[in-house]
Amino acid sequence: MKLSDLKDILPLASQLGAKAEIYVTYGKSMELIVSNQKIESLNRNNSQGVGVRALVGDKMGFAFSTELSKESIEATLRQSIENAKVTAPDKFNILPVGSRIKQEDSLQEEITFEEKLEKVMLAEKVAREYDPRILKVQRSAYGDATSDVMIVSTEGVEAEYQSSYFQSYVIALAEEESQREEGFAFDVVRSFDKMNFRDIGEEAADKAVSMLGARPIASEKLPIILDREIAAEVLSVVAGILSARAVIKQKSLFADKVGQKVASPLVTIIDDGTMEGGISTAIVDDEGTPMQRTVLVDSGILLGYYHNSYTANRMGVTSTGNGTRYGSRSTVGCGPTNIYIQPGIANKEEMIDSLSRGLLINSVMGLHTANPISGDFSLGAAGFLIEEGKLVRPVRGITIAGNLIDLLSKVTRVGSDLRMYGSTGAPTLLVDGISVSGE
């Protein structure tokens, strides 16, 4: 099926009194898992599908199919129109106006299976041999996916692009004096050559070994250093409630706070769908609106939210190109692209050296339980105790509690070490005065 073939179907919508959008995807993916230098599992998947939105007056309908013949897509279009007729009207429903845009992903590569197997086995081998206390490597995995997307609409959208990504992770288990600790490391990139499998194996093993002997500390209020991976995890929660959709649903603590201080002046949060090499970078979002760079929080001040066409129309602003779908079976939602905290000038070692007593947090549990409306959180955590500027010992069995806006507002240093973890990134952050519950 070509873009021109999809365009030929669109006049049917007009004949039936509707506006319409046709979204087609072709994809292929694989996952490879090794254990003890042998293939444990290998899965390959090919997929295709079409999702059709139809707008009849103020009513939006949706239908999908996995069959991509002209007859099937026409039938799916007819079904979406029928579905629209029985849905509730909403005056803010809209199909965005677009234009012709096409781009092939220059990062798409053909890598042999032998190369993939060699690299994932290398990651396992490096982790296993890192330290005698590594009991075993529970899993060393590799995966990749490519996709072709075409979007056309009666409103002028003609978009076509390809994308790809490569990912790998290692889970290592360390043991000493009957205590076991697990270490997990991963990376997701747009180019196979950017993946350092040796580093992934070493990082997983180091995380496991370094936490051996961990125990709680007494309850107190301490400055904490959020490792950049943990800062990115916190940002992933914040990102979800910077969505205009969350605000409209009254499920965001950032509602009615545009123009107000929501973080430290050192904190700037950016969503950038144009980031070079970004996992979520594309020429358009999932409804054909060009992606863009959007500053959401600038030096602690909330400038706005990210939008798809519906939320933008409802709030009287312009879409930021954040219309998202989870495949052709999904209608359009509103999600971040490549979102990150802008790096500062501090380095992690200086942050540690500056503390007479504090914690370096490298693991949290329960972030999904943070209240999106109040921002309150209580998280299981682990990391390292800092005394007189030195990492003294590993810590586990503690809880850190607070409020998301309060935490962001207490950031006193921002590292220069920004790293993207998939489509979310952050540098190391130093946060003042967080309640820690322990022994």
**Residue position matching structure tokens 């500062």:** 344
pLDDT value at position 394?
A: 98
The stretch 118-139 carries a mean pLDDT of: 98
Are 203 and 226 contained in the same domain?
Answer: no
Are 275 and 333 contained in the same domain?
Answer: yes
Query: Of the candidates 157, 174, 208, which is a domain's last residue?
Result: 208
Contact of 262 with 297, CB cutoff 8 Å: yes
The stretch 191-198 carries a mean pLDDT of: 95
Nearest-angstrom CA–CA distance, 17 and 31: 45
% pLDDT > 90, the chain: 95
Query: Of the candidates 183, 208, 233, which is a domain's last residue?
Result: 208
Are 87 and 161 contained in the same domain?
Answer: yes
Lowest mean pLDDT among 99-108, 203-212, 368-377: 99-108
| Residue 105 pLDDT exceeds 60 | no
Q: Could you tell me whether strands 158-176 and 100-103 are parallel, antiparallel, or unpaired per DSSP bridges?
A: parallel
CA atoms within 13 A on the CB side of 37: 6
Query: Of the candidates 174, 208, 242, which is a domain's last residue?
Result: 208
Transcribe 5-62 into DSSP letters. Answer: HHHHHTHHHHHTT-EEEEEEEEEEEEEEEEETTEEEEEEEEEEEEEEEEEEETTEEEE
Q: How confident is the model at residue 102 (pLDDT cuts 50, 70, 90)?
A: confident
Phi, psi of 139 (to 5 degrees): -160, 140
Q: Could you tell me whether strands 357-365 and 220-226 are parallel, antiparallel, or unpaired per DSSP bridges?
A: parallel
Are 274 and 376 contained in the same domain?
Answer: yes
Nearest-angstrom CA–CA distance, 151 and 235: 30
Are 143 and 235 contained in the same domain?
Answer: no
Nearest CA-CA partner of 140 in 193, 197, 216, 89: 197
Q: Reading across the β-sheet that carries 293-298, which strands appear in turn?
A: 301-302, 293-298, 269-272, 339-341, 424-426, 419-421
Are 173 and 235 contained in the same domain?
Answer: no
Nearest-angstrom CA–CA distance, 390 and 145: 43
Residue 416 CB coordination number (10 Å): 12
| Residue 106 pLDDT exceeds 60 | no
Contact of 160 with 102, CB cutoff 8 Å: yes
Are 316 and 366 contained in the same domain?
Answer: yes
Three-class SS state of 404: helix
The stretch 105-117 carries a mean pLDDT of: 78
| Residue 104 pLDDT exceeds 70 | no
Number of domains in the chain: 2
Phi, psi of 207 (to 5 degrees): -60, -40
pLDDT value at position 110?
A: 82
pLDDT value at position 100?
A: 83
Range of the domain at 417: 214-439
The stretch 14-31 carries a mean pLDDT of: 97
Are 293 and 152 contained in the same domain?
Answer: no
Nearest CA-CA partner of 20 in 63, 58, 54: 54
Are 195 and 270 contained in the same domain?
Answer: no
pLDDT value at position 99?
A: 78
Are 367 and 412 contained in the same domain?
Answer: yes
Are 145 and 239 contained in the same domain?
Answer: no
Contact of 81 with 13, CB cutoff 8 Å: yes
Are 289 and 180 contained in the same domain?
Answer: no
pLDDT value at position 103?
A: 75
CATH assignment at residue 37: 3.30.2290.10
Q: Tens digit of pLDDT for each residue in 384-413?
A: 999 999 999 999 999 999 999 999 999 999
